[in-house]
Amino acid sequence: MVNEISISKRLQTLIDGNNTLKENLYQIAEWLNKNYNIRLYFCEIIGGRRWSFLAGNEGVISGRKIELTDSLGVIVEDYNALDEGDWAKVFNIIRKLNQ
């Protein structure tokens, strides 16, 4: 397992300023799935209510639905695989990508 300090550092190294938001979100989803067996669906939030798939793991998942910004949300399967502090770090990195 990877510790909480390396989660933030590793995710930062995955992000490529030349990639699109979608490409970076796929990278994050793949890394979290590989290292923590967490599956993610990143969604564009349209009109404040409709969630439309943007990036993430293959297959239909169900789980905790989290609004990250007015226009970006994530559905997390197995949310309890990380603690709240780790998720806060992950979500902050993702929010910065969406600015």
The tally of domains found in the chain comes to 1
Q: For residue 41, give its domain range.
A: 4-97
Angstrom distance (rounded) from CA 39 to CA 76 = 6
pLDDT of residue 27: 94
Closest CA relative to residue 26, chosen from 6, 42, 38: 42
Task: State residue 16's pLDDT score.
Answer: 80
Residues with pLDDT less than 50, the chain: 1, 4
pLDDT of residue 73: 95
pLDDT of residue 4: 46
Q: How confident is the model at residue 30, as a pLDDT? A: 94
pLDDT, position 5: 55
Q: Report the predicted TM-score, pTM, of the whole model to 2 decimal places.
A: 0.86
Helix count and strand count (H, E) for the chain: 3, 4
